[in-house]
A and B are shown apart, each in its own frame.
Chain A
Amino acid sequence: MDFLNAIVALANFVIIPATAYGAQLALGALGVTLIYGILRFSNFAHGDTMAFGAMVTILVTWMLQGAGVSLGPLPTALLALPIGIAATGLLLIGTDRVVYRFYRAQKAKPVIYVIASLGVMFILNGIVRFIIGVDDQRFADGERFIISARNFREMTGLDEGLAFRTSQGLTIVVAIIAVALLFWFLNRTRTGKSMRAFSDNEDLALLSGINPERVVLYTWLIVAALATTAGVLYGLDKSFKPFTYFQLLLPIFASAIVGGLGNPLGAILGGFVIAFSEISVTYAFRKVVGYLAPEGWEPAGLLQLLSTDYKFAVSFGILLIVLLFRPTGIMKGKSI
C-alpha cells in the first residue's frame, strides 16, 4: 500500500502540476519559436502579449458572468477566449504594421527587431496595467475539481489524496487540441506549408512566389491564438497578475532554446523539460520518500533540493547546460 501512496503523492504534487505547467509553457514557447522561425527575432514582448490576451478574455468573462451566461462546470473564460484571441490578433497585426514592417523593408539586423520588441513590451505593459491594474485577478468559475482529494481517498481507500483540478485538466486538453490544430495547419494546408518553406529558406520561398506579407500575417494570427490561450490557461490555473506574465518570459525562452529555437516540436519538449525540472527540483520529497522508506527510517529534513524562490535558477541552469553542450537545442533548431 505504501508504494501506491508514494505514487499518488508524487502524482498529486509533481506530475499533474508539472504537466499542466509544461503545457502552458509549451504553448508560450511555440509562439516564441514561430516568431523566431519566420520573423527571425526573439520577441521580448511575448509575455506581455500573453498578459494582454488574458486581460481581454478576463474582461469579456466578467461581462458574461455579469449577464448570467455560464458554461456549467466549465469556466466561462472558455467562451470569452475567442474574443480574446481576436483582439490580440488585431493588436499583433497592428504592431506589425506600425513597428516591425518598417524594419522588414529595411532588412534590419535581428537585434534591431529585438530592441523594437522592447519598446512594444513597455507599451503593452503600460496598457495592461492601465486597463486592469497591477493586482491579482481571479476569474475562474465553474466546478473547481475533476477529482477532489477527499473523493479520491473515499474511492480508493488510500491515505494519500489526489486532487485533479478542472483548470489542470482543461489546460492539458486545450493544449493537445491547440498543438494538433497547429501541426495540422503547418503540415497539411497550403498556407502552413508556405510558412515552413519561408522559415527554411526565405530566398527560395520568395522565388517560388510565396507572398511574404501573407506568411507574416498568418504567423501573427497563430501567435495571437497561442499566446492568448497560454495566458488564459495560466491565469485559470494560478492567477492573473501582469508582472508574473512578464517573468514567464525566462522559462518560456528557456523552453524554446532548450528544445531548439525555430523548431515547434522542440518547443513542446522544452516546455515539459523545464516544467518538470522546475517543479521536481523545488518540491520537498519528504512525503514520497517517507512512504517508501522502511518503518522508522523516515527522513528528518524536507528533502528539497532548492527553495521554490529559486525556480528561475532551474530554468536558467538547464539553459546554461544546453548552451554549453548543445547550443542548437535538444532537437536541432536554427542558428543564424
Chain B
Amino acid sequence: MKTMGPKHMLLFGLVGILFIGTGFVQSWNTALTIFNMGLISAIMALGVNMQWGYAGLFNVGVMGFVALGGLAAVLVSMPPVNEAWAAGGLQVLLGLVLGAATIVGAILVWSKMPPGRLRGLAITVILVAGFFIFRAVFDAGVDAVESVDPALTGYLGGLGLPVVLAWPVGGLLAAGAAWIIGKTALGLRSDYLAIATLGIAEIVIAVLKNEDWLARGVKNVTGLPRPVPYEIDLQANENFLALAQNVGSDPVTASTITVKLAYAALFIVVLLALIWLSEKALNSPWGRMMRAIRDNEISASAMGKNVKARHLQIFILGSAVCGLAGAMMTTLDGQLVPGTYQPLRFTFLIWVMVIVGGSGNNWGAVLGGFLIWWLWIQVEPIGLFLMQTITAGMAEDSGLREHLLDSAAHMRLLTMGLILLLVLRFSPRGLIPER
C-alpha cells in the first residue's frame, strides 16, 4: 500500500512487539484477549476516523452506536421466547407502530397544513391522543411480556439466527439512529452535533437499561451463541487433544487460545475488508470531495457539492461501522451488560485512539486503536506497580499508603488525558499523519 512508508511499518512493528512482549511476560491468553479487543477498537477508530478525519464531524455519541450494535447481537442470535410472544409480543409491536404513526402523523400535519393556530391545535391533539393510546397499548403488552418467567427470560428474545448475521444488522441499527440525529443536527453548528450525539448515546443506554422486554435491561442477557467452538467441546475432542499433545501444551490452555485465535481470525477478516474499502473510498473522487468539503465548506458548496447531504452520508457510514464493532464486541463477550457502557471508555477513549493514531489516515486510526487499547489495559498494573514503589518506604498501616494503592486504578484516566493533550499539542497530525 502506498500509504505505508517504512517509518509506519516500524510503528506497527513496535506495537506488535508490545503485544508479543505481553505474551512472554504475562501470558499468551492475556495478550490475545487484549489483541482481540484491540481489533474491535481499531474498527471503532476507523468509524470515528471516517466522520472526523474525512469530514470533520464531531461525534461524541460513539457509545450509543456501539450499544445499538450490542442490542443487534441479542435480537438476532438469541432464541425467541415463544411464551412471551404469545403473552404480549404482538401488542408491544402494535404499541410501537402506533407510537411511530403518531409522530409520522404530526410531521405530515406540519408539512401539509398551512401555518396557523389550527395547525398547532391539530398537532397537539394528535400528539397528546397518540401518546395516551400508545401508552395504553404498549404498557399492557410490556407488562405481559415481562411477567413471563422474569428470572430467566421476561423478554421477547431474538430471532435465533447465527450471531455473525448480527454484525451487519448492528451496523444497520446504528445507521438508523445516525440518520435521525444527522437529519436534525447536521447543517447547524458543529457543537450542536456534539451535544446531540452525546444525548442520543445516553438515551440509548437508558433504553437498554430500562426496557426489560427488549433485552432484559439491567438483568443482562448472557450466554449468546458463539460463532466459534466452545472450549469444553474442544477439550472433549480426540483430534484436538492429540494436537495439543503434539504442540506440548495442556488441553485447557490450548483450547482457550484456540478459541481466541478463532475470534481473532474472524475479526481480522472484517478489519482488513474495512481497511481495504475505506482506503479505496478515501482515494477515490468521493474521498477527495469529502476532504475538500472538510477543508472549506463554502468553496466546496460553490463548486456544486451538496455539503449537508455528504455530511449526512459519511455520518451514517461512520456510525454504522461503530455499530458493527459494537455487535462484534458483544459477540466476543457473549453477553450484553448495559451497565458497562461508560462514555469515558466507549466514546472518549476512541477519540484518543483517532487523534493519537492520526486523524484522516485509516492506518493511523488502526494503529491508534491497538496502541491506546494496550495502554488502557496495561496502565493499571503499571500504575499499581508505580504506587507500590512509591509507597514501599511508608508504614504498613499508613492511611496515605492505602489510599494511594486504592487509587492506582484511576491512573488510566489521567494518563489518557495527558496523552491526548500532549499529542494534540506537539504532534497534532498524529503518529501516521494524513498524506
Interface residues in chain A, defined as those with a beta carbon under 8 Å from any beta carbon in chain B? 41-42, 44, 99, 102, 110-112, 114-116, 118-127, 129-131, 133, 246-247, 249-250, 253-254, 257, 261, 305, 307, 309-310, 312-313, 315-316, 319-320, 323-324, 327, 335-336
- Minimum CB–CB distance from A137 to chain B (whole Å) comes to 14
Task: Indicate whether B381 reaches chain A with its CB closer than 8 angstroms.
Answer: no
Interface of B is mostly: helix
- Minimum CB–CB distance from B95 to chain A (whole Å) comes to 15
- Minimum CB–CB distance from B405 to chain A (whole Å) comes to 12
Task: Indicate whether B375 reaches chain A with its CB closer than 8 angstroms.
Answer: no
Question: Contact at B417–A323, with CB atoms within 8 Å?
Answer: no
Q: Which of A115, A123, A250, A315 contacts B414 (CB 8 A)?
A: A123
Question: Contact at A319–B199, with CB atoms within 8 Å?
Answer: yes
Task: Indicate whether B191 reaches chain A with its CB closer than 8 angstroms.
Answer: yes
Interface centre among A119, A126, A305, A312 (most CB of B within 10 A): A119
Interface residues in chain B, defined as those with a beta carbon under 8 Å from any beta carbon in chain A? 56, 58, 60, 131, 184-185, 188-192, 194-196, 198-200, 202-203, 206, 209-210, 343-344, 348, 351-352, 355, 406-407, 410-418, 420-421, 424-425, 428
| Cβ–Cβ < 8 Å partners of A335 in chain B | 189
Question: Contact at A249–B198, with CB atoms within 8 Å?
Answer: yes
Given A115-B424, A122-B420, A250-B199: A129 and B407 interface contact (C-beta under 8 Å):
yes
Question: Contact at B56–A122, with CB atoms within 8 Å?
Answer: no
Question: Contact at B413–A126, with CB atoms within 8 Å?
Answer: yes
Interface centre among B184, B198, B410, B415 (most CB of A within 10 A): B410
| Cβ–Cβ < 8 Å partners of B190 in chain A | 110-111
What are 18 contact pairs spanning A and B, CB under 8 A? A42-B194, A42-B195, A112-B428, A114-B191, A119-B421, A122-B416, A125-B344, A126-B417, A127-B414, A129-B413, A130-B411, A247-B202, A253-B198, A257-B192, A316-B203, A320-B184, A320-B196, A323-B188
| Cβ–Cβ < 8 Å partners of B203 in chain A | 310, 312-313, 316
Given A309-B209, A312-B206, A316-B202: A114 and B194 interface contact (C-beta under 8 Å):
yes
- Minimum CB–CB distance from A313 to chain B (whole Å) comes to 5
Q: Which of B194, B413, B418, B425 contacts A102 (CB 8 A)?
A: B425
- Minimum CB–CB distance from A324 to chain B (whole Å) comes to 6
Question: Contact at B407–A130, with CB atoms within 8 Å?
Answer: yes
| Cβ–Cβ < 8 Å partners of A125 in chain B | 344, 413, 417
> In the docked arrangement, what's the CA distance between A238 and B234, Å?
53
Question: Contact at A121–B195, with CB atoms within 8 Å?
Answer: no
- Minimum CB–CB distance from B343 to chain A (whole Å) comes to 8
| Cβ–Cβ < 8 Å partners of A261 in chain B | 191
Interface centre among A114, A120, A130, A336 (most CB of B within 10 A): A130
Question: Contact at B411–A126, with CB atoms within 8 Å?
Answer: yes
Question: Contact at B407–A327, with CB atoms within 8 Å?
Answer: no
Question: Contact at B424–A316, with CB atoms within 8 Å?
Answer: no
Question: Contact at B206–A310, with CB atoms within 8 Å?
Answer: yes
Chain B residue nearest to A327 in the complex (CB): B188
Question: Contact at B191–A42, with CB atoms within 8 Å?
Answer: yes
Question: Contact at B185–A130, with CB atoms within 8 Å?
Answer: no
| Cβ–Cβ < 8 Å partners of B418 in chain A | 119, 122-123
> In the docked arrangement, what's the CA distance between A123 and B355, Å?
16
> In the docked arrangement, what's the CA distance between A247 and B341, Å?
13
